[in-house]
A and B are shown apart, each in its own frame.
Chain A
Amino acid sequence: MTDTRTGRQALFDEAVDKYGPALQRVVCAYEAAPDRRADVLQEIYLALWQSFEAFDGRCALGTWVYRVAHNTATTVCIRRRDRLRLVTLDDIEPAADPPSFGSAIDDDRARGRLLDLVHRLKPLDRQIVLLYLEGLDAAATGEIVGLSAGNVATKIHRIKKVLADQFHERSRR
């Protein structure tokens, strides 16, 4: 247990320092309205600060931070009536005019499409896609979302297929 205020503050500072940009991306993936994103991020930081009182080091700091962030952001999703319109990865159809990654302009457009895609997903699929995009492997993702590594690996395979159907990469010369 992190029973001293200094230890808790140190953990919080480390989490903000290491995972701050990733947490901002989590917020963008859950809250489509830019003017409400700061509120969601504040909720996540508050939840993190409160959770560090119980941090016992039994799991990695990253696992802890991602769990708290995704779970806090999920409540935003679950409260909404339009959550019933969210779909699973299996329901995503190939895009008619896939944008490309590869240059700054392309990446901006493709990122917009990627965010649209993520916003349409049910929470569990959204979490697996986001953790994949953050570069986590199947085992780490499984520990965060609570599915077996094999189950997550199958999902990642599906994610790669969906992304390949939705986007292209411009050849670099």
Chain B
Amino acid sequence: MSELTDDAARRAWQGQRSAIDSAGIARTVERRISERRRQTRVFLACAAIIVPGWVAAFVVFPDLRPLSAIGLIVAAVLGWHATRRQHTPSAVVSCAAFQLAVLRRERDFHRSMSTWGLVALLAGQVAIVATLLMIERFEKNAFFAGSLTVFIVTVIAILARAFRRFRKTLSELEQELSALSKRVEA
């Protein structure tokens, strides 16, 4: 045995054999781009079906209008957060800058979801409960009261768990960001 030289490690690393068909994959890039375009078209088609349906419900059922309006606001808030999270920073910047950008994006997402995202969700649930209590199409009997209680308890438990999870991840991301920033500035 002897001391490890640069060449030995590099030779072994670069001598790796891989079963991936590199040239074949390179040829599929255009197909992948087409697939993404198709996914976007499917998403837009779904929106084109859901939105008019929503509007129709808004017009046809006047007693459900407050719920429809709040539902639309909640969908807009959550959709906006999800869209912002999908945005990937440019990959041509340095690796450190890229990681900082991705970590900041994740931190901002978790920060806003743990406040405004959950507020929007909570408002949606309050609107559901208020609508159930106010409209006359449901009979206010023991079954109704039991179901409503189960719904409220479940919603509170899920939102509390989501809040804790978002805050925990937010704290971890802030620590990672701080450590990486220090390294880049060093």
Q: Which residues of A contact B (CB under 8 A)?
A: 12, 16, 20-21, 23-25, 27-28, 34, 37-38, 41-42, 45-47, 49, 51, 54, 64, 67-68, 70-72, 74-75, 78, 84, 100-102, 107, 110-111, 114, 123-124, 127, 132-135, 143-147, 151, 160, 163-164, 167-171
Contact = CB atoms under 8 A, between A and B. Distances in A.
B99 A124 contact: yes
Residue with the highest number of chain A CB atoms closer than 10 Å, among B4, B6, B183, B186:
B4
Contacts of B13: 25, 111, 114, 133-134
A46 B32 contact: yes
Given A101-B11, A168-B2, A78 B95 contact: no
Contacts of B32: 42, 46
A45 B29 contact: yes
B97 interface: yes
A163 B22 contact: no
B10 interface: yes
Contacts of A164: 3-4
Nearest to A72: B91
A21 B95 contact: no
B48 interface: no
Given A164-B4, A169-B1, A16 B22 contact: yes
Nearest to B95: A145
B95 A41 contact: no
Contacts, number: 152
A111 B16 contact: yes
A140 B96 CA distance: 14
A111 B12 contact: yes
A45 B10 contact: no
B150 interface: no
B45 interface: no
A127 B183 CA distance: 14
Contact of B183 (A34, A68, A124, A134): A124
Residue with the highest number of chain A CB atoms closer than 10 Å, among B10, B12, B20, B95:
B95
A64 B92 contact: yes
B102 to A, nearest CB: 5
A101 B98 contact: no
Given A24-B20, A164-B3, A169 B8 contact: yes
B180 interface: yes
B4 A54 contact: no
Interface string B22-45: 110110110011000000000000
A163 B25 CA distance: 33
B84 to A, nearest CB: 16
A95 B85 CA distance: 40
Contacts of B91: 47, 51, 67-68, 71-72
A160 B16 CA distance: 20
A10 B142 CA distance: 73
A151 B186 contact: yes
B9 A71 contact: no
B184 A146 contact: yes
B174 interface: no
Contacts of B96: 124, 145-147
